[in-house]
Structure 1
Amino acid sequence: MFNIKRITVGVLAILLTVTSSCKEDYLDINNNPNQATSATPDLVLPSALASTASYVQTRFPFLNLWMGYWNWSGNYSIGTSDKNYQFTNGFGAPIWDNGYLILKNYNYIDTQGATLNQPVVQGIAKIMKAYHFQILVDTYGNIPYTEALNGLTTASPKYDDQVAIYEDLFKQVDAALALFDQADAKSAQGETVLDPGANDIVFGGDVDLHERLVLWREFANTLKLRMLLRQSEKPERQAFVQAQLAILNASDYGYLGQGANAAVNPGYTNSANRQNPFYGNFGETVTGTPTELNNQYRGNKYAIDFYQQTNDPRLARFYAPVGGTGTNFNATYFGTIDPQVNSAVSAIGPALVDSPDQDAVILSSHESLFLQAEAAQRGWIPGNAKTLYQQAITESFLNTGLTAAQAATYYAQPVNNVSYDASANKLEAIITQKWASLNGFTPFEAWADYRRLGYPNVPISQDPSTTVRQIPVRLLYPTSEFNYNATNANAQGTVSQFTTKIFWVK
């Protein structure tokens, strides 16, 4: 669903042209001499934002397996490395490669925005660079950062310390906010400020520039809060956290709230290469038949049991019933030795594959409210944790096509990890309900919370070859790094997906 706001502009014909041709130079093998080498940053912006949406919604399906949302279909023979966490350097390589491709586009917007004195698009680019670099740090730890986007001048960029990168990301977001202030000041003085308008396919459309900059500021503050909460369990990081919280709490702007999904829609429609990326990958083809990935992924018994045991109507939104009854949901655990055929297990549900023109969410209103609930519960920000918790659940219900009344009935149940008052561990309740809301679209955030706090207690793969009974804490550096940046990649030493932790992992 997530159709609280819809922005439709005719940009799909040009989307991804810059992304597909501008590979990160130290990964670049082929250059097209006939490809245009420059474009104004406001015209590159929608392509970059659409690439972000595709990236976050389609690059992490394995995390839906790990985090108890999905399982493999019994109709397919699945390799053991996809079920026992014993993957190699090739696993998830597009997360790295495409992440840097997208960052290069945002860097172009950033630098050209500065050259052409376009503070709005430059500020958006800086925020989105922080958004993507955080994902890469949270996935790999130390990564190329200060030299990563230098082009041919640094074909083999050094790896930067992950803590230093995190700290610099706050500076980059602050620089973006200063650019927005600059744009506001110029507008107030009657100076012309380039407004990307409909090319801002996240908060654009009919919203005027002032309102849009408020939303981007709220997005930036929410991103900061997410990065601070990542570090919540590390005592040595608390001085930095508190200093940044003082800045956040002094801000004139809050966080993304009710009805404020950060979602991309450049004009998705039911035609080839123009569908919503999640729908096009995990829903139906343009002719209405299930995609191959839709057939490969089925429901996971862990999540289905949770929704059933807590009388959660989101069950029928995240999963499809079996047998045509409308009420029978069935699934198996990840890695089961007895997978069932598709007709016997629940498929991906209508909230996830609603329509080919559905919005592509990059940061949902309910995730933001859960972040705020946790921060309030910790005493980090003003606000009532219980109220924010209930608002977050309500937003999740609304974003999956249900009603606020259904949400109120749900969280009024005197059930642990459902009712705030009935929950013995408030933090566990917040994170468990956050996990319940992130199904399908946002498994990365569920994985981050699990690595940080251990909530909820997601079962380990049942595959007999799972000798290390632990969900991985990171991915391995891709093969491309050892091919094209070997000295710097090898300098990171021996890396294990089980023991080489990201700095904020508990």
Structure 2
Amino acid sequence: MKKIQNSILIATLALASCLAGCNKDYLNVNSDPNRTTDDNITPDLIFTQAATNVAMRHIGASPGSEGSTIDLQFAQDWVGYMSNTGDFALPQIESSYNIDFAFGDNAWQRDYGTLFDLYQAKTKALANGNKVLAGAAMILSAKLFQDVVDTYGDVPYSQAFQTNVYKHPVYDKAQDIYNDLQLSLDSAIIYMDEDAPASFATVDVVNHGDQTKWQKFANTLKLRLLIRQSEVPGFNPATEIAKIEAKGGVLGAGESVSVNPGFSNAQYKQSPFYGNYGFTTTGNKAATGYAPNNYILNILGSTNDPRIERFFTTVGGFYVGCDYGLITGNPFGAQASYFGEGIAKSGDQDQWLIPSFESMFFEAEAIARGWMPGDARTAFEAAITESFVWLGVEDAETAAADYIANTDIANWDNAGETAEDQAKFIALQKYIAITCIDAREAWADQRRLHFLPEGFITFNPSRLADELPLRLLYPQSEYTTNAESVQAVGTINQFTTKIFWEP
């Protein structure tokens, strides 16, 4: 892990160096304006880059990528959102679930590289007395650290990034990290009550200086941490729920959190999702080897869900998908549907981190479980409606009302009587709403609740199991550079070694 930390730092220093070259003190013969120092590598510069990289990591893209291989593609495929077309050879390791120690290496290193940048932004901001910027970095870090824990389980946390002290950081227990992330978010929320420097609104490429929205974002992440632990025996979220309610609640309608540092339809400047699943700057498909999975197409089509035309395109008037893991028979990319304008709008679109409706589904489940006050049906239907609005469905509110009233899997009368049944009912609609938008969340929900109808499992006859892996294996780079720490965790298996919240 030290190797990737150093490479990310070098990239950060290079960026800061270029920007620092315009300093008016360039005539000072005792100061080299092109030399990187603590003075010109400011937390503002690091934060803007780090926040942009969080946007990249949300879909699994590497910083500066355009149409590159996505290291989280497996999640899109595993949960039934996307599939390989017939243009290229089938990825055997991924589609057979026979993953190895190299499988998650890129995702690990890129996630930790971004977390290192956020750590540096927080540390330097606090040293400068800028608690607001530090709080923003801590909130983004909490989101990404939860994603890492949900993917790998126990990971380096308390000793991570302190390379001058800990050359080989230990692996903290996943439950301990979750608990500390709650405390970190509490601190970040308090920091957001401070007066922000005038530069914050410009530096903040996420919420553009809206500190109240940052606090709601933090509360939403706090609730996401709680929701993930719903199946842990004896779990009681009351204390954390009280904090959330006391500090303004979670993100609601029209309050999506996204990143946009100035994306444009230029090479290496496109918004991450569009640049990787939309079109290149020359107008060609960016994801020539991927198409909608027939699994999600069948769910959307069988319920006459109008969102289908916002998620995907048609070919000859029909929605044509692919079967994940099928060795032969999948159509070529030119003969298959593609990703629609509801999610792949333009090169300059915002890159979502938490869409408004996703937060509203968290709240609906919390209400159904009796954790938060309110009416579960009302919250559930509001979340579905917000999904229609967010995607740009024509006459969205009316279309959503019709869908809810006439669709068995959306009509609350079919939700069941128990909190667990209602949670699964909500999870299915959340799964549909976040189609191609948050595959990591869908994978986590399936591992937590096992709610998806049959049919999403790979068609690859070489598959190791008829169920999704519970986690990824630790990357080979950790066994090479941090062997003692990773080996102390013990033997890991993708089907039997559970993350603490998995039932």
Give the TM-score, by structure 1 length. 0.87
Identity of aligned residues (%): 35
The reply to whether residue 334 of structure 1 matches residue 324 of structure 2 is yes
The reply to whether residue 429 of structure 1 matches residue 446 of structure 2 is no
Q: Give, in whole Å, the separation in 2 of the partners of 1:401 and 1:482.
A: 46
| Paired position in structure 1 for 2:131 | 119
Cα distance change of structure 1 residues 274 and 193 upon mapping to structure 2, 3 Å threshold: closer
Deviations 1:47-93 (A, max 9, x none): 11100001112342211111111111011112321211101111132
* Secondary structure of 1:154 counterpart: coil
| Paired position in structure 2 for 1:461 | 458
Matches within 5 A, 1:373-452: 373-402=364-393, 403-413=396-406, 415-424=407-416, 425-452=421-448
Of the structure 1 ranges 153-162 and 255-264, higher mean CA displacement relative to structure 2 is found in 153-162
The reply to whether residue 80 of structure 1 matches residue 82 of structure 2 is no
| Paired position in structure 1 for 2:29 | none
Matches within 5 A, 1:212-251: 212-236=210-234, 238-239=235-236, 241-249=237-245, 251=246
Question: Would the aligned equivalents of 1:138 and 1:502 in 2 still touch at CA under 8 Å?
Answer: yes
Cα distance change of structure 1 residues 216 and 22 upon mapping to structure 2, 3 Å threshold: farther
Question: Would the aligned equivalents of 1:320 and 1:347 in 2 still touch at CA under 8 Å?
Answer: yes
Cα distance change of structure 1 residues 115 and 176 upon mapping to structure 2, 3 Å threshold: same
Cα distance change of structure 1 residues 315 and 486 upon mapping to structure 2, 3 Å threshold: same
Aligned residue pairs: how many? 463
- Aligned-residue CA RMSD in angstroms? 2.2
Q: Give, in whole Å, the separation in 2 of the partners of 1:319 and 1:55.
A: 23
The reply to whether residue 97 of structure 1 matches residue 109 of structure 2 is yes
Q: Give, in whole Å, the separation in 2 of the partners of 1:442 and 1:78.
A: 23
Matches within 5 A, 1:13-412: 23-25=4-6, 36-38=36-38, 39-58=41-60, 59-181=71-193, 183=194, 187=195, 193-204=197-208, 209=209, 212-236=210-234, 238-239=235-236, 241-249=237-245, 251-291=246-286, 294-323=287-316, 325=317, 328-337=318-327, 338-402=329-393, 403-412=396-405
Cα distance change of structure 1 residues 303 and 150 upon mapping to structure 2, 3 Å threshold: same
Question: Would the aligned equivalents of 1:269 and 1:275 in 2 still touch at CA under 8 Å?
Answer: yes
Deviations 1:202-223 (A, max 9, x none): 110xxxx5xx111011001000
Q: Give, in whole Å, the separation in 2 of the partners of 1:272 and 1:32.
A: 23
Question: Would the aligned equivalents of 1:89 and 1:479 in 2 still touch at CA under 8 Å?
Answer: yes
Q: Which runs of 5+ in 2 are unaligned?
A: 18-34, 61-70
1:472 maps to amino acid: P
Q: Give, in whole Å, the separation in 1 of the partners of 2:256 and 2:161.
A: 29
Matches within 5 A, 1:475-486: 475-486=472-483
| Stretches (4+) displaced over 3 A | 25-35, 192-195, 422-425
1:290 maps to amino acid: K
Residue 387 of structure 1: how far off its partner (Å): 1.3
1:405 maps to amino acid: T
Cα distance change of structure 1 residues 110 and 344 upon mapping to structure 2, 3 Å threshold: same
Q: Give, in whole Å, the separation in 2 of the partners of 1:277 and 1:28.
A: 22
Q: Give, in whole Å, the separation in 1 of the partners of 2:8 and 2:387.
A: 39
| Paired position in structure 2 for 1:17 | none
Cα distance change of structure 1 residues 37 and 103 upon mapping to structure 2, 3 Å threshold: farther
Residue 26 of structure 1: how far off its partner (Å): 10
Deviations 1:188-244 (A, max 9, x none): xxxx7455112111110xxxx5xx1110110010000000010001114x14x2322
The reply to whether residue 474 of structure 1 matches residue 471 of structure 2 is yes
Question: Would the aligned equivalents of 2:97 and 2:464 in 1 still touch at CA under 8 Å?
Answer: no
1:404 maps to amino acid: E
